[in-house]
Amino acid sequence: NDDNQKQKYRGGTSYFAAYTRRPPHAGNRYPKNNMIMPLSSQPQKMMIQESKNRNADDYRLKQAEKVESSIMQMGQLFSQMATLISEQSEVLTRIEDDVEAGLMDTKEASKSMDSFYEVTKGNRGMILKIFALLILFAFLFLVWT
């Protein structure tokens, strides 16, 4: 009889079935310990396990959201980097064009200076004669005055 009553109280599957009042003892209508006490710890363990699972799932969800946010930020950074690289490519192209134009100008200037050197090289003797003649006239002018 007592075993049947215990089975009857333990038979529920809900979470609240774990806590029930003790069945009254035979002949004693008010037992000494009239407290609520668990008859089976399995539903309680299931509640604790589900709570742990829920907490673990929440933690995993938060971590996944952080990872997703980080991936989105990385995507934005890569997009910005691609834009900067594209702009730098245009700038480098302009610099390269300017350097090539400067090189061409320098080559033309070098040719011009070489041709001027050849012209002055042939006239060097004549330039020295004219300079000597000017010094002679200056000396004669100073001596006679």
| pTM for the predicted model, two decimal places | 0.39
The interaxial angle of helices 124-144 and 42-122, nearest 10 deg, is 60
Ranges 34-48, 93-107, 109-123, most confident: 93-107
Predicted confidence (pLDDT) per residue in 56-94, tens digit: 888 989 999 999 999 999 999 999 999 999 899 999 999
Question: 12 falls in which pLDDT band (50, 70, 90)?
Answer: very low
Q: Specify the higher pLDDT residue, 75 or 27.
A: 75
Amino acid at 70: S
Stated as kind and residue range, the H or E segment containing 46 is: helix 42-122
